Structure 1
């Protein structure tokens, strides 16, 4: 996953601090060798720990998550 093009989330702001980064994967495998075939996958990581754990979403799951973020469903 070191060659993946990560991009900063637009919800992270421009303060230069830690943020969430996302990458679109297609036809790749993860560090454990899980084959995603030709399915598109959205990967998410914490910028302050780029070698740490990553979350993987299908495009449909990602869309539902983004809708929740936009609707402020995750604010405390």
Structure 2
């Protein structure tokens, strides 16, 4: 089993297929997500693709997506 570390260089995650939201702007101000395995996901800053990646478990990722879909973070955009 591959062991990814929180904060490792995102461009060093072999085989990662980074996905950016279609709402990204022209200067790449967005985060990108990659599914690393059945149970791990990585997030990186699209402006710094070689920068650190944050690694999340499946349950952490699902909790975030659920909260975002319910608008729980909408007040953070102001």
In structure 1, runs of 5+ residues without a counterpart are 27-38
Check if 1:15 corresponds to 2:14.
no
Equivalent in the alignment of 1:62: 61
Equivalent in the alignment of 2:17: 5
**Looking at both structures, which has the greater relative contact order when contacts are Cα pairs under 8 Å and sequence separation is at least 6?**
2
TM-score normalized by the length of structure 2: 0.66
**Offset at residue 20 of structure 1 (A):** 1.1
**Alpha-carbon separation, structure 2, partners of 1:18 and 1:2:** 23
Larger proportion of helix? 2
Equivalent in the alignment of 1:45: 44
RMSD: 1.8
- The within-5 A match list for 1:20-39 is 20-26=31-37
TM-score normalized by the length of structure 1: 0.68
Q: Closer, same or farther in 2 for the Cα pair 1:14/1:44, shift >3 Å?
A: closer
